[in-house]
Structure 1
Amino acid sequence: MRTLFLLAPALLVAGAAHAQTNTGSAGTATPTTGDVSAGTTSGGMSGDGAVGVSGTADAAAANGGTATTDASARFNTENNTARQRSTATARDDDERARSRAMTNVNPNGDVRSNSMSIYKQKGEKPVITRERTVNGEPR
């Protein structure tokens, strides 16, 4: 499992008013009834001259399957923005699982998070789960 947690101090403007703190997160996981599973989370915060993001990715595959995970983050302290993205995939001969989560901290301080997971068994319809939040509130 990969875990990424980073904070970046933002430039403070002299005489600026106390800023509101916003947080948000999203996460999804595929069903764990089969031989493969994947799950991701992503979250962020902004306020008081700082932005931060964090995320996790976890994938598992049994019976000779393959699993991969990745997590990355970017910061721009000039305009108080941050971005985090996590992905996880797992597959074997008859099943596939994929999960993705991403958080963006916008210049206005909004924290937007979304995640999606897909689980597909051979011959069946895919099971898709989505979650979206803005400043912690479902959208």
Structure 2
Amino acid sequence: MTKPAIIVLFVMAVLSCKSASELKSEQYFVEGYNLYTTYCANCHQADGKGMSNLYPPLAKSDRYNDKSAVACIIRNGMKGTIIVDGKEFNRPMPANPKLTEIEIAELVSFLSMKWGQDSVYTSIETVQAALKNCKEY
């Protein structure tokens, strides 16, 4: 057996040991990371620490406890002053109306798994329900 074939068999064996939820969580995390890099990292930085006094950090934020709010902020943006880690930030976050519900679910999943307390993906149903009831942020 060739070395590439052994590698493929090993990867298949590893993947087959994971549940559907674990596989979906990994998929959402990776897709969310790609979306974060494209749409968010310019301001919030790749490490999630924000940009000085301009843009708030996402790492170590307690905002991920409310996934509905995060989904709404991603879709509709945010205005006004917020306080993160005792610092005041007052720059608007632009809306992302072109992101699909699945993309928002992937972003919320990435954020909550990377910097929140979650280890499981955020379902599209959670995001759909949240987007129907958004309040202004």
Normalised to the residue count of structure 2, the TM-score between the two structures is: 0.23
Relative to its length, the structure with more strand (as a share) is 1
Normalised to the residue count of structure 1, the TM-score between the two structures is: 0.23
Relative to its length, the structure with more helix (as a share) is 2
